C-alpha cells in the first residue's frame, strides 16, 4: 500500500518511518532542498547554522522514538548535557545561571525566597506526575472522539493535571518572589500563550526542563534530522526534495494523487505534515476542507519570530549556550503579542551561542550566534523593521557582554514572517503553531483525520498533540497508528 507524506519535518519523518516499519511503501515529498522542515540547516562563511529549534528537551521522547525501531540516539548523534542549563538576564543585567543539579537549583531558589526549596520540591513532584500522565499517556490520544476521554481514571487524571487552572495561578501557590516566577514562567512564552491563559498542566515543561535537563547534539540540532532521515531510509522511505506540492487530487471522496512542480504521485493514503491551513486552502479546495476561514481566523496562534543568524569573527564573553534576556517587562511584551498584536516596544529576546559547547560549527576563534525575538503573527516584516530590531537587541547584547559585537559580524541573515510563509506556507507566518490554551487542547485542536476525504490525515504542530519538537515527533507516531488501524496491511 502506497503512502505519500507531504513534508519532512519531525512529524513527517516520524509518520513515514513508522508506517514503513509496518510494511507500507512510503514516499516523502519535501518542498525545500533540505529535509527537516523548520529544523533545516544552512552553511555560510565556514559557519553551520541551525535554522529553527535550538533547545533539546524531553530526551526520553527521542530515546523512546529510536527505541521503537531497535535503535538508540547514540547510533546517530552524541548528546551532551548543558550545565548551567541556561542563563536568564533580568533588569539591570542581573544574571541568574540555572544549574543542572536539582539540589543546587533548589538552593538557588532558597537564596531568593526563604522556604522555596521545599516548595520547589513539592512543585516538581506534582509536575512529574503531570509529565508522566501528559507525555506518556495524554498526548498519545488521537483526539478523534470524546469516548477516548470517558474513563474514571482519565477524569481523575485530568483533575490532577490542573487542566482547568491557569499556570499563573498554579505557580503562585508555591512562590512569591518575582525572579523565581519569571524563571518558572519563561517556558510558557514558547508554548504560545501567556501564563494566565495556559493550563497549569504545562508545569510538566518545568519538569522536563529542570529535571530531565537541557541537552545539545554535537554538530547541531540538524544532527537529529540527519539521524531521522537515515533511519527512515533504512526502513525503505524515499525522501524526495524540491517537490513543491501544488494539488491533492480527490476522486469520489478519496485522495488519489499528489501533484507537485516536478510530477504526479499516486497514493492509497496521504499524510499532510505541511501547514494544515495551507493544505486545506490551497491543495484541496473548499469542498474538502475540515475548517473554513472563519474557524482559522479565530485560532489563537503561538508567537512568530524574528530571527538573526550571526557569524562573528571573535569570541563573545559572558554568553552561555542559551541566554534569555528578560531585562524588559514580560507583561508588556506578552500584551503586544497576544492582546494588541504589534511589533514590541521593548522586546524580550533569546540569544544562543552554541559555539560555547561545540567549536565545530564555526571557524576557529569565531562565535556562532542565533538571536530570536518572539513577535505577534502576521506582522509586516520589512528590511527596515528587521534592521531596527537588530540594532535594538544588539545594543543590549553589547552592553551586557561589555564588548562591541556589530563591528565583528562577518555574516548576517535575518528571518521572519514572510520567510516562514515562503519556505513553509506557514499560516499567518507562524513559527510555532497554535497556542496551548485550554480551548485549543486535545479534541479542540484541528483534527488529525480529514472529515471529508477518507484516506487523508494531518500531522504536525497545528494538530494534536501540539507545537514543539517532541510533540511533533509524537504526532507522527499517533497518526501512523491511526492509519494502520484503518488500512491494516
Q: What is the pLDDT of residue 158?
A: 64
- Pick the more confident residue, 175 or 437: 175
CB 240 within 8 A of CB 29: yes
Confidence check: pLDDT of 153 > 70:
no
Nearest alpha-carbon partner for 280 in 268, 293, 267: 293
Query: Looking up cell 481566523, which residue turns up?
Result: 297
Cis peptide, bond prior to residue 84, ω within 30 of zero: yes
- Provide the pLDDT confidence category of residue 150 given band limits of 50, 70 and 90: low
Class of domain 103-212: mainly alpha
pLDDT above 70 as % of the chain? 97
In this structure, are strands 269-272 and 304-312 parallel, antiparallel, or unpaired? Answer: unpaired
Domain range 2-76+219-299+434-487, CATH architecture: 3-Layer(bba) Sandwich (3.50)
User: CATH 1.10.405 region(s) of the chain?
Assistant: 103-212
Confidence check: pLDDT of 425 > 80:
yes
CB 360 within 8 A of CB 218: yes
Query: Looking up cell 550571526, which residue turns up?
Result: 310
Domain range 300-423, CATH architecture: 2-Layer Sandwich (3.30)
C-alpha cell of 177? 518572589
Confidence check: pLDDT of 296 > 90:
yes
By three-state DSSP, how is residue 202 classified? helix
User: CATH 3.30.519 region(s) of the chain?
Assistant: 300-423
Confidence check: pLDDT of 111 > 90:
yes
Confidence check: pLDDT of 154 > 90:
no
Confidence check: pLDDT of 288 > 70:
yes
Q: What is the pLDDT of residue 335?
A: 87
User: CATH 3.50.50.60 region(s) of the chain?
Assistant: 2-76+219-299+434-487
CB 486 within 8 A of CB 302: no
Q: What is the pLDDT of residue 216?
A: 98
| Helix intervals (H) in 9-90 | 10-21, 59-67
> Mean pLDDT, to the nearest integer, of 68-90?
98
Confidence check: pLDDT of 152 > 60:
no
Lowest-pLDDT range, 22-26, 47-51, 337-341, 403-407? Answer: 337-341
User: How far is 99 from 87, CA to CA, in rounded Å?
Assistant: 9
Confidence check: pLDDT of 190 > 70:
no
> Mean pLDDT, to the nearest integer, of 9-23?
98
- Provide the pLDDT confidence category of residue 163 given band limits of 50, 70 and 90: confident
Whether the model pTM is above 0.85 = yes
C-alpha cell of 28? 516523502
Amino acid at each position: 500500500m502506497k503512502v505519500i507524506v507531504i513534508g519532512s519535518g519531525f512529524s513527517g519523518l516520524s509518520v513515514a518511518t513508522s508506517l514503513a516499519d509496518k510494511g507500507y511503501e512510503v514516499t516523502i515529498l519535501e518542498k525545500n532542498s533540505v529535509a527537516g522542515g523548520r529544523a533545516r540547516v544552512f552553511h555560510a562563511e565556514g559557519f553551520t547554522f541551525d535554522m529553527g529549534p535550538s533547545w533539546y528537551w524531553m530526551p526520553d521522547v527521542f530515546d523512546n522514538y529510536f527505541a521503537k525501531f531497535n535503535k538508540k540516539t547514540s547510533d546517530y548523534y552524541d548528546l551532551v548535557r548543558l550545565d548551567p542549563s541556561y542563563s536568564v538576564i533580568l533588569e539591570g543585567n542581573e544574571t541568574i545561571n540555572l544549574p543542572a543539579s536539582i539540589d543546587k537549583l533548589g538552593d538557588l531558589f532558597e537564596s531568593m525566597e526563604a522556604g522555596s526549596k521545599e516548595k520547589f520540591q513539592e512543585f516538581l513532584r506534582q509536575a512529574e506526575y503531570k509529565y508522566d500522565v501528559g507525555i506518556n499517556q495524554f498526548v498519545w490520544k488521537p483526539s478523534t472522539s470524546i469516548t477516548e476521554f470517558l474513563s474514571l481514571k482519565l477524569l481523575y487524571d485530568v483533575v490532577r493535571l490542573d487542566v482547568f487552572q491557569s499556570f499563573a495561578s498554579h505557580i503562585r501557590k508555591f512562590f512569591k518572589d518575582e525572579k523565581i516566577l519569571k524563571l518558572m514562567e519563561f517556558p510558557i512564552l514558547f508554548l504560545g500563550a501567556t501564563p494566565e491563559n495556559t493550563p497549569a498542566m504545562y508545569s510538566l515543561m518545568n519538569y522536563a526542563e529542570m529535571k530531565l535537563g537541557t541537552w545539545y547534539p554535537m554538530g547541531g540540532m540538524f544532527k537529529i534530522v540527519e539521524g531521522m532521515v537515515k533511519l527512515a531510509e533504512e526502513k525503505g522511505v524515499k525522501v524526495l526534495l524540491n517537490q513543491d506540492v501544488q494539488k491533492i487530487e480527490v476522486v469520489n471522496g478519496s485522495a488519489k494523487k499528489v501533484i507537485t512542480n516536478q510530477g504526479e504521485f499516486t497514493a492509497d493514503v496521504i499524510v499532510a505534515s505541511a501547514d494544515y491551513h495551507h493544505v486545506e486552502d490551497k491543495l484541496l479546495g473548499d469542498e474538502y476542507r475540515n475548517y473554513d476561514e472563519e474557524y482559522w481566523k479565530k485560532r489563537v496562534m503561538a508567537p512568530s519570530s524574528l530571527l538573526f543568524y550571526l557569524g562573528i569573527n571573535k569570541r563573545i564573553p559572558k554568553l552561555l549556550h542559551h541566554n534569555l534576556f528578560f531585562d524588559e517587562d514580560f507583561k508588556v511584551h506578552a500584551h503586544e503579542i497576544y492582546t494588541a498584536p504589534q511589533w514590541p516596544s521593548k522586546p524580550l529576546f533569546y540569544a544562543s551561542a552554541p559555539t560555547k559547547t561545540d567549536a565545530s560549527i564555526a571557524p576557529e576563534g569565531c562565535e556562532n550566534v542565533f538571536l530570536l525575538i518572539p513577535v505577534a503573527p502576521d506582522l509586516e516584516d520589512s528590511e527596515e523593521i528587521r534592521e531596527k530590531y537588530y540594532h535594538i537587541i544588539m545594543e543590549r547584547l553589547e552592553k551586557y557582554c561589555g564588548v562591541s559585537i556589530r563591528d565583528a559580524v562577518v555574516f548576517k541573515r535575518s528571518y521572519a514572517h514572510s520567510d516562514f510563509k515562503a519556505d513553509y506556507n506557514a499560516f499567518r507566518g507562524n513559527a510555532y503553531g497554535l497556542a496551548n490554551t485550554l480551548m485549543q487542547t486535545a479534541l479542540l485542536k484541528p483534527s488529525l483525520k480529514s472529515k471529508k476525504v477518507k484516506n487523508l490525515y494531518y500531522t504536525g504542530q497545528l494538530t494534536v498533540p501540539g507545537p514543539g519538537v517532541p510533540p511533533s515527533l509524537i504526532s507522527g507516531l499517533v497518526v501512523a497508528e491511526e492509519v494502520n488501524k484503518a488500512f491494516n496491511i
